[in-house]
Chains A and B, each alone.
Chain A
Amino acid sequence: MRSTTRNFVDNAARGLADDKLQAALGRLSQGFPVKRLETISRLPEFEQLRDDAIAIKRHTLENLDSYLERYEENAKVSGAHVHWARDGDDAREIILGICRDAGAKTVTKGKSMVSEEIGINEFLADNGVEPIETDLGEYIIQLRDEPPSHIIAPAIHLSGAQVADTFKESHDELDADRDLSEPRTLLEEARAILRKKFLAADVGITGANMLIAETGTSVIVTNEGNGDLTQTLPKTHIVIASIEKVVPTLEDAATILRILARSATGQDITVYTTYSTGPKRADDLDGPENYHVVILDNGRSSLLGGEFEDMLRCIKCAACLNHCPVYKAIGGHAYGWVYSGPMGAVLAPALLGLGETHHLPSASSLCGRCQDVCPMRIPLPRLLRQWRRRWFETGGEDTKTRLGLAAWAFLAKRPALYRPLMAIGTSVLKLCGGGGRRFPILPRPEGGSFVDQWKRGKR
């Protein structure tokens, strides 16, 4: 998927001006965060579970090569084909190859952010394989040819009326005058259409929330059941998972599951948690005959052992988005790519480079709410600052900010110079009555400097 992150300022302005988006973002604040608090309040062990989960991830990352190898070994024992992809190119070729071998015309897809990351849909379509997103939100945005605006609720930016328009336009075989004013009717229409697609698909592609080394198992969590239909009905199931998704054991997976849905949607657990190990067995009555796993690096190994390693603990729960004042002001599309909110602002520079993405780490008040709610306690503000530092150090920061900072720092290091000059500044500001409309943040100063007045004996 092509990024428009470079245009962040314009993207954000568009988000701010979009009333429907603003209404949706308003609803977001009243939804996930409220439910999250409620479910957490019923689990006294929540904080301990977070600590356990962090320890699991740390241990796994420290031994990532070993766990990947053990995962692969055990997956192969169960009959899985395991493929390794260095980057998007590798992954796309592997997946297309499997689809070709399967003679695939249509491919159903469960929601997978990694598959968005490598832009698989566009690629398959260009190569004559029709990809069909089946998560309701993903389906809607696929019809609209939009990127997801939220990592777990991809169509959260849309109103029901917008979805209705999209359906009327896309489902042109149906009666044009049908009533689609209720979310229920929209859901029913999508369900009926996608049910046929599920049954007809030749290949199903899903992501994985985890890979379990102990058993060679891939795990997906969903609420709709679309992921299960995607992977159960076609002859071939392809899992695409990035390298940091591996965990050691079923018990470790259980710990992470306990914090995942709670942090994400505020559910105790998602409706469906599905563990897949290899293809259909001799005594199975259904299930895919071929089971492939594509393990994708795409820049992640370069984060390992470095100052952004903490980001590899991310379980893509979206709690940081749901609690981010910036995300809630501008929405996910402003970030211009697959990942949004604080996690996106840390991840996108790692995957796309700072030249494209430097606005994202800068566009944060560093309020720290994300780190507070992140189940993996990823120090997102620190990581954002680290990107800012890299950007500054490589000379990326714009000249105005750079010169302003330099001049101010020059003075602030020299109190004898700083104070008289600042006194002039505040006097002028006072005469003007503050920063006015342009800089409402600057009030009319009281006048004088505290340190000076104190020195002169004022109390």
Chain B
Amino acid sequence: MGAMNTALKNPIDVGLFATCLVDLMRPSVGFAAARLLERAGCTLHVPEAQTCCGQPAYNSGDNTDARNLAVNVIAAFEGFDYVVAPSGSCAAMIRHHYPALFEGDATMTARCQSLSNKTHELLSFLTDIMGVTEFEAEFEATATYHDSCSGLREMGIREQPRALMAAVKGLELRESGEAQSCCGFGGLFSVKYPEVSGRIVDAKSDAIEATGAETLLGGDLGCLMNMSGRLRARGSAIKTRHLAEVLAGTAPETPAIGEEGDKD
């Protein structure tokens, strides 16, 4: 494994916030994330009390429920040195949006702020905080990468996954001109306005297919599920995966998103 940041305290207690989608839909991303964090030298904790960051409520204007869920997350995670989520969007929710939920409540704002400051998205945490440069991973494929909106615009994640991908043996990155374009997911948006969302993910799929890549990689399961669903519905053979699976080397044993595997 590549260079690491040795200036950090020992042990580094990291609370893994798996996110509700990974927890329920694709546990293998959680295991991959855990593996990467442990290999980077973190002491891993997976609080059982975790469910969801509250983003669906927050983005629906339901701040009361969002607040209640935030209280859960804060209580479950505030004891760790860092909180890491394999999702830019859930990490951004905690980091950038929790504080706004508790305006006027000094105690909660302070607790929020302290949690915000130590909450990170997985891939950027590994490079920026843990100083990892590579995982000695191998993945024989051409791939294109999707920059998820929250990760890109709220968390500043762009170069980090690319640096990690560059060190993966056999992986050839084929950038799409639309890598930074929204896939049309937007949580409940895709449920409430499926036709509009569908057109956006269609355009996105065109761009992905145009790269000729065999695999679509990304760092947010919501977007990945959305794109893989559309690609599969279009009959595309492109396989969709979270980048953590590739880096952790769990990809060969895990069917791509939406694919049938024999593993149960």
Q: Which residues of A contact B (CB under 8 A)?
A: 9, 12-13, 16, 325-326, 328-330, 362-369, 371-372, 385, 387-393, 397, 401, 405-406, 408-409, 411-413, 415, 418-419, 422, 425-426, 433-435, 437, 439-451, 453-455, 458-459
Assuming A365-B185, A368-B150, A385-B61, is B26 touching A16 (CB within 8 A)? no
Q: Which residues of B contact A (CB under 8 A)?
A: 18, 20, 22-31, 34-35, 46, 48-52, 54, 56-63, 65, 68-69, 72, 149-150, 153-154, 180-182, 184-186, 188-190, 192-193, 195-197, 199-200, 203, 225-226, 228-230, 232-233, 254-255, 257-261, 264
Return chain A residues, CB-CB under 8 Å to B150. Answer: 368
Assess whether B193 is in contact with A12, with CB atoms less than 8 Å apart: yes
Chain A residue, CB-CB nearest to B47: A451
Q: Which of A362, A425, A437, A450 contacts B31 (CB 8 A)?
A: A450
Bound complex: CA of A136 vs CA of B127, how far in Å? Answer: 53
Assess whether A451 is in contact with B46, with CB atoms less than 8 Å apart: yes
Return chain A residues, CB-CB under 8 Å to B186. Answer: 364-367
Assess whether B189 is in contact with A364, with CB atoms less than 8 Å apart: yes
Assess whether A450 is in contact with B30, with CB atoms less than 8 Å apart: yes
Assuming A401-B188, A445-B24, A450-B31, is B63 touching A389 (CB within 8 A)? yes
Return chain B residues, CB-CB under 8 Å to A411. Answer: 51
Assess whether B184 is in contact with A451, with CB atoms less than 8 Å apart: no
Q: Which of A364, A426, A441, A447 contacts B264 (CB 8 A)?
A: A447
Assess whether B72 is in contact with A366, with CB atoms less than 8 Å apart: no
Return chain A residues, CB-CB under 8 Å to B35. Answer: 459
Return chain A residues, CB-CB under 8 Å to B61. Answer: 385, 387-393, 397
Assuming A367-B186, A391-B61, A451-B23, is B56 touching A405 (CB within 8 A)? yes
Assess whether B25 is in contact with A412, with CB atoms less than 8 Å apart: no
Return chain B residues, CB-CB under 8 Å to A422. Answer: 24
B262 to chain A, nearest CB (A): 12
Assuming A385-B58, A422-B24, is B65 touching A409 (CB within 8 A)? yes
Return chain B residues, CB-CB under 8 Å to A426. Answer: 24-25
Chain B residue, CB-CB nearest to A401: B60
Assess whether B195 is in contact with A445, with CB atoms less than 8 Å apart: no
Return chain A residues, CB-CB under 8 Å to B254. Answer: 446
A-B contact pairs, 15 of them (CB 8 A): A325-B181, A362-B193, A365-B185, A365-B190, A366-B149, A371-B153, A397-B62, A405-B56, A406-B65, A437-B233, A441-B185, A442-B225, A443-B25, A446-B28, A450-B31
B249 to chain A, nearest CB (A): 13
Return chain B residues, CB-CB under 8 Å to A418. Answer: 51
Assuming A409-B57, A443-B25, A450-B22, is B196 touching A458 (CB within 8 A)? no
A403 to chain B, nearest CB (A): 12
Assess whether B153 is in contact with A449, with CB atoms less than 8 Å apart: no
The residue in A326, A330, A413, A446 that gathers the most chain B C-beta atoms within 10 A of its C-beta is: A446
Return chain A residues, CB-CB under 8 Å to B72. Answer: 412-413, 415
Assuming A363-B193, A385-B59, is B24 touching A434 (CB within 8 A)? no
Assess whether B62 is in contact with A368, with CB atoms less than 8 Å apart: no
Assess whether A408 is in contact with B258, with CB atoms less than 8 Å apart: no
Assess whether A329 is in contact with B200, with CB atoms less than 8 Å apart: yes
Assuming A369-B153, A445-B26, is B199 touching A405 (CB within 8 A)? no
The residue in B35, B185, B186, B255 that gathers the most chain A C-beta atoms within 10 A of its C-beta is: B186
Chain B residue, CB-CB nearest to A330: B196
Bound complex: CA of A325 vs CA of B200, how far in Å? Answer: 6
Return chain B residues, CB-CB under 8 Å to A363. Answer: 189, 192-193, 196
Q: Which of B18, B154, B195 contacts A451 (CB 8 A)?
A: B18
Return chain B residues, CB-CB under 8 Å to A329. Answer: 184, 196, 199-200, 203
A388 to chain B, nearest CB (A): 3
Return chain A residues, CB-CB under 8 Å to B65. Answer: 405-406, 409
Return chain A residues, CB-CB under 8 Å to B200. Answer: 325-326, 329, 365
B21 to chain A, nearest CB (A): 10
